[in-house]
Structure 1
Amino acid sequence: MITREDLGWDERFEQAFAPHREKGLIPGRVVVEYGRVCEVWTDQGVETAVVGGVITHQQEASEWPKVGDWVALAHTPGADKALIEAVLERRTRFARKVPGRNTEEQVLAANVDTIFIVEGLDRFNLRLLERYSVMVRAGGIEPVVVLNKADLHAKPAKVQRVVSRATPGLPVLVTSAVTGYGMEDLAARLQPRRTCAFIGPSGAGKSSLINRLLGEERLPIGEVREKDAKGRHTTTRRELVILPDGSLLIDTPGMREFQLWEAQEGLDTAFPDVAELAPNCRFADCTHENEPGCAVRQAAEDGRLDPDRYDSYLKLRHELEHLKEKQDQFAWAARKRHVKSATRAFNKFKKGELPPMEEDEDEEGAEDLFGDTAEDEES
């Protein structure tokens, strides 16, 4: 019988859940999420649960239950599904900006301890690896690089050395899901009751590696196109499973689009070589581009810092700055809509088109609240 402790429950979660326990709710961990419907592991087994209206109506979509979240469930007599009343505070999260033009956060997994960033040696992209690393670290998660498909490369150890130099501080493993090469090193990174996730582009071999760890063909495996070494998204949903050694694992679909989301801290951590040089710049607010006395740009020019890595750092930082501008614009627009809505409501109240306020909230108090905004709106 699987217990909460087997799923990663500990004293900190117990303390966070105490107020919900007083209300008669029970804890569970989300193993699969389909929008408003989730499959949740509880002490009684896997249950189907629906996200409650308090969450869907009062919280942002990024705060809805995701795979890996711990939630508080209520059971209603006669109902065939439990109700998710609350989501416990996340210790870590793996997130990105939603695909497309919208400026919103999309949380992909929660309460993850380690993320294995998988790339195939038949089509390796160092810049993509840096992007993944930034977002993993921004969510407070430990990243580990896995260079898979060693059987398809003549010199995998050489690539491993190159990647290790280019990503200081990151563990770099080389594996082959086909031959089993390096699987012991990968398995050694797993620990009972701790949660890991596999991310990476389609065709990198994530599902194959997971099947090796599971000891069975549990997840579907897609073929890779010969012309561009790209695979189909054989994993179409995120799912939490328990490995034979007691560790917990989340498989994620390959992502065609992976835009950053609030990752300045992750950027600094993912580029420790840049962070180490930055204090030597002449100006404390140096952008490392055109300022005189920039130690980072000078290091890139004289070869102490890889020029490609320097360019990648600037590109990612520009992306984060652009995202911040869009977030500010979105917040300003939302604030403006709120003020207009409140002003219209107050004007209607003054004209007698709305019911009177409570006795302790007279019209004079409302004018103090809105100031001259309502008068300006009418003029």
Structure 2
Amino acid sequence: MNSDDFGHVHESKHADSASQDPASLAALGWQPFFAEQISVDVLSETPPARVVAVHRSGLQILGVGLDETLPPCADVTVGDWLLLDRTQPRSSRILSRKTLIKRRAPGTDRQVQLIAANIDTVFIVTSCNQDFNLARLERYVALAFEAGITPVMVLTKADLVTDRPIWIDAARSVSDRVPVVALDARGDDPQAKLSPWCQPGQTVAFLGSSGVGKSTLTNALAGNEAIATQAIREDDAKGRHTTTRRELHLIPGGCLVLDTPGMRELQLADAASGIAETFEDIETLSTHCRFGNCQHEREPGCAIRAAIEQGQLEPARLQRWRKLLAEDRFNSASLAERRTKDRAFGKMVKRVIKEGKSRREC
């Protein structure tokens, strides 16, 4: 894992009986994609284990006959598969990820924050109330597309509104490639309506702001109330934080569900292709502009301006597209600058160490 923090393996006291004895690697989401990366000999010498929880104090891993805790490591995130080296845990190998959700970390240090790895489907959760925000939904969809994950929009609290079709149509306006499911998170709806994506061995994630029902949905799929939930604030329909860490829950006889804390800030970086897929309608229109470098302002023959004038495209959607593109370019450039500085610093450290050794040898 290329980290000196992995010096010890600690026995876990994980209490989830469903995860203490997984039926097989397949139950934990093992797929041919991961098996193709290793040989049979390697598999027997270093057993595969999946990171199912990230705590401040360490990483919870599960495998066949494995339920242990490793020290934390910045390069590892929930959902990762690793080959556990019991004699030298620091040498445990992280398998290549099938998918990866990441964002620019909050703050000014210009770093990438890993959210989760190897997710098959992401449920983008929002409520049919004041929490509903098209700009936020577009960000989550772009994040999913960029990661190569199947996105599904889930509208909770649909049982509390009388104009459900209006909310569904608004969600569908984000992308015609993303299914929209409206449900009551507290009843039988989640198991019935989300079952096509929640098959055994699949890993799904609930993403969205606090209080929209992510933990409630996880409980509904699990058939219990293992995860604490709280009601929203009545004055502004804002949610309270209930989940405080990213953790995979193994649903008996079903999928693995990632429950995450609500993200107050979601800054996109290196997500140009995801944005293009989310705004496929605008990207397609732009190919019909008279000029290849059209800025879609006052240029003659602009297909996008024509679509707005004809009522085929909302001006607000164009503005949100521009905002995301500008944000992604800025953050991508900032992260590239940070990586360049980190490489330069690493080279300087190696040079100083080498010069120090030379002086001692003399």
- 1:111 pairs, out of 84, 104, 118, with 118
Is contact 1:121–1:147 with CA below 8 Å preserved after alignment? yes
User: Which residue is equivalent to 1:176?
Assistant: 184
Q: Which has the larger radius of gyration?
A: 1
Question: Offset at 1:332?
Answer: 4.8
Distance 1:182 1:67, change over 3 A: closer
User: Which residue is equivalent to 1:242?
Assistant: 250
User: Which residue is equivalent to 1:377?
Assistant: none
Question: Offset at 1:291?
Answer: 4.5
Greater Cα shift, 206-215 or 152-161: 152-161
Amino acid corresponding to residue 115 of structure 2 in structure 1: L
Distance 1:276 1:46, change over 3 A: same
Amino acid corresponding to residue 121 of structure 1 in structure 2: C
Distance 1:4 1:328, change over 3 A: closer
Output one character per residue of 1:86-138: Cα deviation in whole Å (capped at 9) or x when no partner: 21000101111101112211111100000000001122111110111111111
The CA distance in 2 between the partners of 1:188 and 1:339, in whole Å, is: 50
User: Which residue is equivalent to 1:74?
Assistant: 85
User: Which residue is equivalent to 1:354?
Assistant: 359
Residue segments in structure 1 that go unaligned for 5+ positions in a row: 358-379
Is contact 1:20–1:72 with CA below 8 Å preserved after alignment? no
Output one character per residue of 1:244-281: Cα deviation in whole Å (capped at 9) or x when no partner: 34211111111111111210010011111112112112
Aligned length: 340
Amino acid corresponding to residue 141 of structure 2 in structure 1: S
User: How do 1:83-98 residues align onto structure 2 when only pairs under 5 Å count?
Assistant: 85-98=92-105
Is contact 1:31–1:41 with CA below 8 Å preserved after alignment? yes
Residue segments in structure 2 that go unaligned for 5+ positions in a row: 1-20
User: Which residue is equivalent to 2:16?
Assistant: none
User: How do 1:134-149 residues align onto structure 2 when only pairs under 5 Å count?
Assistant: 134-149=142-157
The CA distance in 1 between the partners of 2:305 and 2:351, in whole Å, is: 51
Amino acid corresponding to residue 223 of structure 1 in structure 2: A
Q: CA RMSD in A?
A: 2.8
The residue matched to 1:41 in structure 2 has which SS? strand
Question: Offset at 1:29?
Answer: 0.6
Question: Offset at 1:220?
Answer: 0.5
Amino acid corresponding to residue 359 of structure 2 in structure 1: L
The CA distance in 1 between the partners of 2:56 and 2:360, in whole Å, is: 39
User: How do 1:318-329 residues align onto structure 2 when only pairs under 5 Å count?
Assistant: 318-329=326-337
The residue matched to 1:354 in structure 2 has which SS? helix
Distance 1:83 1:146, change over 3 A: same
Greater relative contact order (Cα < 8 A, sep 6+)? 2
The CA distance in 1 between the partners of 2:340 and 2:35, in whole Å, is: 39
User: Which residue is equivalent to 2:268?
Assistant: 260
Distance 1:132 1:11, change over 3 A: closer
TM-score by length of structure 1 reads 0.81
User: Which residue is equivalent to 2:38?
Assistant: 17
Is contact 1:117–1:200 with CA below 8 Å preserved after alignment? yes
TM-score by length of structure 2 reads 0.85
Greater Cα shift, 140-149 or 316-325: 316-325
